[in-house]
Each structure stands twice: as C-alpha cells, then as structure tokens.
Chains A and B, each alone.
Chain A
Amino acid sequence: MHPLITIKGIREGLLVTLGEGEWPEIQEALISQLEGQADFLRGAKLILDVQNRALNAASLGKLRDLLSDREVSIWAVLSFSPLTEQTAQTLGFATKIHQKQNEPEVSPRDLNLEDDEGILAKQTLRSGGSLVYPGHITLIGDVNPGAEIIAGGHVVVYGKIKGMVHAGSEGDETAVVCALEMSPTQLRIADKISVSPEDMGEKTPEIAFIRDGQVVAEPWKFR
C-alpha cells in the first residue's frame, strides 16, 4: 500500500510529503498522524510538500487552523501548482526552502575570528542542556554531566566541566578548553576525542589543547 503521508526531518524543519488521494482524505490522514505523535510534534514547524495539487486559500487556511489547534505550524508550502504557490504566498508561507543537496566542505579555519565572534553565558548547564556556537564560548557556571558545549573556537569555563565539551568543532586543532575544574565525561578538540583520567586528588584549573595529535591538559597558569 502507498503511504499517504511521509514525514522526514530535514535541516529546515519537518518535511511532510502528501501523496496521491482526495484532499479531505489526505487532510484527515495528516491530522490523525500528527495526533499520534502529538508530544513529539508539539511546536514543530512543517514544510508541506503538496506535490502538484491545486489548493485554494480556503482549504489551505483550514489546514493551517487545524494544525495550529494541535500546536503545529506550517512555515512553507511546496508545490508545482502555480495556484497553490500563489495561495501559499498570500497566506504568508514560504514557497521555497533552501535545500542543501551538497553540504559545502567546511575547511578548518584558524582562530582569527573577529573580536565579536564569541559569546558569554552565565548559567549552569544542567543535564540535557546544550550550548552551541560557531565562535568562542565563555561560560560562567558549571557544565554538569549530560550537558554539552560545542564551539567552533575556544571554550573557557569559569566553573567545573563534568559534561561534554567540544572546542574547534569545525576542525580547528588550535582550539583550547579551559576550566577551573576539568573532569569532563568527554573532551573533544577538532576531531580528537579524550576522556578524563581516573585518578584525581585536588582539582586545579586546567587548560586542554592538542599536542602531537593528542588532547592533553596542563595546569592553567597566568603567563
């Protein structure tokens, strides 16, 4: 049997492709599918691919309202039909999404980031928390187990690192990670991964970086 609806996660959101069939039937199938995954989809932004179906403002508007009752919103409608495209634009939906077929190769870049290419956050990242930024990240607070920081540049934590930290996430091997207490579950710099050694007596501030292809940590001293 041909599935009426396929849902796929893409970079821009959830791509919902509606298959062949009468519109009321398709609409009902979509709603029931969303109901079944209501928790997962709450707040989701859908990209609706209606193929070459011609839809007027009334039917599209009705679908939008039905979805918003379920806390799901449409942000784009894709179609080959000029009528549908026009309708979608009238209702304020996007009609094209930027589909990256080929990811451009990210070249490792040096850390000659501009001064403002960093962020400062003051909070404790708890389990499940995540801080992702293409530049440098400075955190005042702890990184608890189960939390993660992923930075394109350096990471400085004025606190304890017990979770996962990835510096130079786009391949920069000159990135460093500093913390007042360094006991991450895992520490990554560029494509190198390391775990904390078992031991540990007194904890001192440390700085971690890549030396000879390995992540090493040294006492973090003012020089």
Chain B
Amino acid sequence: MSGKVITITSGKGGVGKTTAAANIGAALAMQGYKVTCIDADIGLRNLDVILGLENRIVYDLVDIIEGRCRLRQAMIRDKRLPELYLIPAAQTRDKSAVSPSDMARLGDELKAEMDYVIVDSPAGIERGFRNAIAPADQVVIITNPEVSAVRDADRIIGLVEAEEKGPATLIINRINAQMVQRGEMLGAEDILELLAVDLIGMVPEDSNVIVSSNRGMPVAFDDKSKAGEAFRNIAKRLAGEEVPFMDLDATPGLMDRLSRFMRSGGN
C-alpha cells in the first residue's frame, strides 16, 4: 500500500491550518482510511490540543528523527477513530531540530502503512514551512477571505510551484456569506481570480469550530455543523470523490429567520 502525503499550509498565521488538518484527518479516518496527522509546527504545537490528544503524548516528532523512539511509539492512536493517528510536534525544541530530508524520509516510511498522511505546516516561509512541504505529494493552501491572507497564499503558491510540489489546491476558510453578499468580504470568485488555482473547499464561519477545538473534538464529528460538513466534503474530494460545493449563501439567513420566527411564536 502506498498512501499520499498532503501538506496543509498558508503562509499567514491564524487562518485555520491546524483546524483544517485536524478535521480533514478526522474526516478521512471517518471514511475508513488509515490516516496519520503530523504536527510539523515544532515549538508551537497545537494539533494535539485540537484533536484532544494532548495528555497522551510521550514521544514526539523530534524523538523519531533523533532516534529516541521507534515510529510506532510516537504515533498516538485516536480513541474515537481507531485508524487515526497523530505524531505530535516537540514543544521544547524549534524548527531547526528537523530537516526537510528527515521529513521526506518520515513521509516515505508512513506512506507504506497509511492511506493518508496529513502534515500541519507552521506559519511562515522559512525552515518550518520547507520541512512541512518536503514530504508532500499534494499541497493544500488555506486562506481566509481577507486581502492579507490571500496575498500570503499567493506567495506560498509560488514557493510550492518553485519546489515542484504544485499544483496546489485551495481551501477558503471562514467565509461569512452575509458579509460577502453585502460586498464587505472578498468572495470566492475574487480570490480564485487572483490565485488561479483549483478550489477544493469553502468553509463557512462557524462558532462551533471554536467550541469543538476547545473541547478537543474536531468539528468534523458534528453532524449539525456547517463547517463540519464542509470539512467532510473536503476529505471526500481529496479522496477523489466528486462533491458539489455547499450553497453558503441563502441558508444562514433563512435559518436565522426561521428560528427567530419559531422563538417568537413560542413566546
């Protein structure tokens, strides 16, 4: 079996790389694939928290690279999904503890056993970023509908192309449909026009994401959450399935009005 390494990166910080990595990893595992998530953000690890596996860390990525443990020992198995594993980042070291060739070797080793390896990249374009994309078979860029995030995404796409890891695909995260409709937020068309890459997902702004991150329960597990559905759809598309894009426009407004109507009726 030879799997696929998918690196999730963005350039800018705070656009949702880790959230996306956790949710895509979880959603792929829910579909029955064997998945390992790697937190490549050495020194600023987060993926373990979002996946709710923080208290189970014994060994980490740097321990594997430096030979203090076997690969299997550092792979934390998720209790909810038996085929989902996490390799956490070291918190007491920094990006220079690992080199791009280390990561490429690790990726090759994991691919032999896994269907998918999801690498969560740190922000920035330096060593950490190069470590994260070194093992990648596919790179997914995540951006927010705001000018600075899109600008950074553009830079990253250029760097990914230069490393011959392209073509990258794009996730637009935290879309607020009402703001787009009012012309206050960049729409998907504006972003795609500039970046000229394939879109693989649009994730609506959803407060459930924060709630579930705090609980260590990726939102992809939540059947009712729009964002969770969006991430599940992205996972399906990554697995080669054709899934139509969700209609982000009308639904929130209508739902709001309905629920407000119900509430006022009840009173």
Q: Interface residues, chain A, CB within 8 Å of chain B?
A: 38-39, 124, 126-129, 142, 144-146, 162
Q: Please classify the interface of chain B as helix (H, G, I), strand (E, B), loop, or mixed, using the class held by over half of its residues.
A: helix
**Least CB separation from B11: chain A residue:** A127
- B252 adjacent to chain A (CB < 8 Å): no
B96 with A38: CB separation less than 8 A: yes
Are A124's CB and B196's CB within 8 A? yes
What are the 8 A-B residue pairs with the smallest beta carbon separation, nearest first? Answer: A126-B158, A127-B155, A127-B154, A128-B155, A126-B154, A39-B127, A144-B154, A129-B158
Are B194 and A144 interface neighbours, CB within 8 A? yes
The number of residues on chain B lying at the interface, defined by a beta carbon within 8 Å of a beta carbon of chain A, is 13
Question: Which residues of chain B come closer than 8 Å to A129, judged between CB atoms?
Answer: 158
A127 and B196 contact, Cβ closer than 8 Å, known pairs A39-B126, A39-B127:
no
Tell whether B152 is near chain A: CB-to-CB under 8 Å.
Answer: yes
**CA separation between A144 and B155, bound complex, in Å?**
9
**B151, B154, B155, most chain A CB atoms within 10 A:** B154
Question: Does B209 reach chain A (CB closer than 8 Å)?
Answer: no
Query: Are the CB atoms of A146 and B96 closer together than 8 Å?
Result: no
CB-based nearest B residue for A163: B154
Q: Chain B residues near A39 (CB, 8 Å)?
A: 96, 126-127
CA distance A145 to B151 in the complex (A): 7
Kindly report which residue of chain B lies nearest to residue A145, judged by CB atoms: B151
In the complex, whether B81 has a CB less than 8 A from a CB of chain A is: no
Q: Which chain A residues border B155 with CB–CB below 8 Å?
A: 126-128, 146
Knowing A144-B154, A146-B151, A146-B154 touch, does A128 contact B196 (C-beta < 8 A)? no
Can you name 29 A-B residue pairings with CB atoms under 8 Å? Answer: A38-B96, A39-B96, A39-B126, A39-B127, A124-B196, A126-B154, A126-B155, A126-B157, A126-B158, A126-B161, A127-B151, A127-B152, A127-B154, A127-B155, A127-B158, A128-B155, A128-B158, A128-B159, A129-B158, A142-B196, A144-B154, A144-B194, A145-B151, A145-B154, A145-B194, A146-B151, A146-B154, A146-B155, A162-B194
